[in-house]
Amino acid sequence: MNYAYCGTSGLQLPQLSLGLWHNFGFADDDETAREMIIHAFEHGVTHFDLANNYGPPPGSAESNFGKILKENLASHRDEMIVSSKAGHLMWDGPYGDGSSRKYLMASINQSLKRTGLEYFDIFYSHRYDPNTPVEETMQALVDIVRQGKALYAGISKYPPVEARRALDYLRERDVPCLLFQDKYSMFNRKPEEKILDITSEFGTGFIAFSPLAQGLLTDKYLNGIPVYSRAADPAGFLQKEQVTPQLVDKVRQLNEIALQRGQTMAEMALAWALRDERVTSLIVGARNTAQLNDSLNALQQLSFSQEELDLIDTILDGATL
């Protein structure tokens, strides 16, 4: 495993982190989840990314992770980075959604109880909430850190203008933002427009989720939509309509480059997302250890020639998801 510093902080993260958004809730296979978490840690993945509403049902990913940590990895707690977040709908009523101080404080207390942890290494505001002043949300993060409930603060999915305000607020109160989390992949390069420049300016790390575009940047959809894929699930975040012939054709062309590099499509997509030194880590998901190994194998070949990068840019021209 390779490790990188988060911006100008002294904290290092593995270049690949394990996300527990899917496949770690009560509705999933407990033993497979246990195998993946242990396998990841044994291969140097020291960062595990949670949120209060991860499951399904919401909260169950934190509960399952806490159980696995207690039963299998308790003695390694100080070798691990565990993050969680609050900002999306978690419970009914006026205080179970958004980014108010009330919601963030209640959420972190619940999340700590579910995981059985005394503190989170990183706690994020999961999203920008236009109904809550940025200052209110950031002050809650400042107080969470000062109370010892988290070691570092982070923000996720903030628009550039609000991100700058948030990072300014945190820096002025000596609780600098450790990490900015956002969607980033070959098919979603929006962070390159402003966010990566902002994080670099503030000395904040950047961690990407969905670097495989919900599985589209693999060889999975080259011959249609598999029955058990995310695109085949009506409730999934990747919809059938998004798997267009145009995007599949681009993946097919990219896959040819990957094969020439001796990589799978997924391995190359992850290596590509790490090509920018401002990207600290990628959050990868997996259904089983075989998929996790495919992601880990990306670290064996991270370098690209300029010719490869130029060809990839040509293929990606106009591609968005």
Concatenate the DSSP letters of all residues of 110-173 into one string: HHHHHHT-S-EEEEEE-S--TTS-HHHHHHHHHHHHHTTSEEEEEEES--HHHHHHHHHHHHHT
Q: Which of 85, 203, 98, 96 is nearest to 154 (CA)?
A: 85
* Strand bridging mode 12-14 / 3-5: antiparallel
The pLDDT assigned to 207 comes to: 98
48: DSSP letter: E
The C-alpha angle with vertex 300 and arms to 178 and 265, in degrees rounded to 5, equals: 90
Q: How far apart are CA 176 and CA 155, in angstroms?
A: 11
Token look-up 């709908």 returns: 89
pLDDT at 15: 98
Of all residues in the chain, what percent are helix, strand and coil, respectively (each to 5)?
45, 15, 40
The model scores a pTM over 0.75: yes
Q: Tens digit of pLDDT per residue, the chain (321 long)?
A: 999 999 999 999 999 999 999 889 998 889 999 999 999 999 999 999 999 999 999 999 999 999 999 999 999 999 999 999 999 999 999 999 999 999 999 999 999 999 999 999 999 999 999 999 999 999 999 999 999 999 999 999 999 999 999 999 999 999 999 999 999 999 999 999 999 999 999 999 999 999 999 889 998 877 666 555 554 455 566 656 777 889 999 999 999 999 999 999 999 999 999 999 999 999 999 999 999 999 999 999 999 999 999 999 999 997 777
Q: Which residues contact 30 (CB under 8 A, 6 or more apart)?
A: 64
**Degrees (nearest 5) of the Cα angle 257, 260, 262?**
110
Sequence ranges of the domains in the chain: 3-216+272-301
**What residues does 188 pair with on adjacent strands?**
185
5 forms beta bridges with: 12
The per-residue pLDDT for 130 is 97
Question: How much is the pLDDT for 242?
Answer: 76
123 - beta bridge partners? Answer: 84, 153
CA atoms within a 13 Å half-sphere pointing along the CA-CB vector of 241: 3
Q: What is the pLDDT at residue 118? A: 98
- pLDDT score for 228: 57
Given this model, what pLDDT does residue 243 score? 78
Cα dihedral sign for 183, 39, 52, 152? Answer: negative
Q: Which fold has domain 3-216+272-301?
A: TIM Barrel (3.20.20)
Backbone angles phi, psi at 170, to 5 degrees: -65, -40
Question: Alpha helix locations (H) across the chain?
Answer: 30-42, 60-68, 101-115, 134-146, 160-172, 195-202, 245-261, 265-273, 289-296, 306-316
Per-residue exposure over 283-304, b if at least 16 CB sit within 10 Å of its own CB, e if not: bbbbbebebbebbbebbeeeeb
Phi-psi sector, 148: left (phi>0), alpha (psi -120 to 50), beta: left
